[in-house]
Amino acid sequence: MPKRLRNYPVYLAPKIHGHMNEDIPEIYDEKRNEYLDPNNIDDKIKIYKRQVKGWFLDRGSRLLRGENNGFVVIMISASYIEGVQQYIAGETSERNSRDFFKRGLERIFSLSVDDEKLNDFYKQVRCGLFHNGMSGGQVIISNESEHPIDFSQTGTIIINPKRFLNEIRNDFNRYISLLKDVGNIDEREKFNRMFSVVQ
């Protein structure tokens, strides 16, 4: 969920800062030299796009240039899956994290696998990295794998970090394009309801 404004300046996204001036929100985009309205859906989309790209996806892409960064790239990428699924559904994943993550995983990667494999990915990758600080024993990182996710070996999940992040980036770009289209009323309404930087 988005960062919230305070009565002192905070960055809501790279080069977008704001604060509450008494009860009036003030948000400024330093990059575009413009003020943003936190109640305007198009400005909300700008903030969201800058948050996800600037703080996460662009950082993941830079890490791919180095060595031994596969796990952290997957961690950055996996953090996107449940979050975006909440905006798409128009509801929080609270107490239903596994289902939201699995739906997002299936949708983003066009997976046609049984529920057991999705559960394994959730436990081994998402829960492993975020709860234990390391993926489960089934996970293998391979920069040579032809697929972002490969379940073809029994009891093994092979992930290509570059392809995995690329699919996440592609999904994000599609979602932003969908939100910018004023004809997508339902999708925009769900996002608008979920995304707020004002308390």
Whether the model pTM is above 0.85: yes
Q: Is 16 a residue whose pLDDT tops 60?
A: yes
Helix (H, G, I), strand (E, B) or coil at 179: helix
Give the pLDDT score at 52. Answer: 97
Count up the domains in the chain and report the number: 1
Give the largest CA-CA distance in the chain.
59
- 18 in Cβ contact with 188 (< 8 Å): no
**C-alpha distances in Å from residue 48, one per residue of 19, 33, 54, 143:** 17, 17, 10, 30
How would residue 199 be classed by pLDDT, with cut points 50, 70 and 90?
low
- Does a structural domain hold residue 16? yes
- Does a structural domain hold residue 121? no
Q: What is the mean pLDDT of the chain?
A: 96
Provide the residue range defining the domain that includes 68: 10-110+167-194
- Does a structural domain hold residue 146? no
- Does a structural domain hold residue 25? yes
Q: Is 3 a residue whose pLDDT tops 90?
A: no
Q: Is 194 a residue whose pLDDT tops 90?
A: yes
- Does a structural domain hold residue 145? no
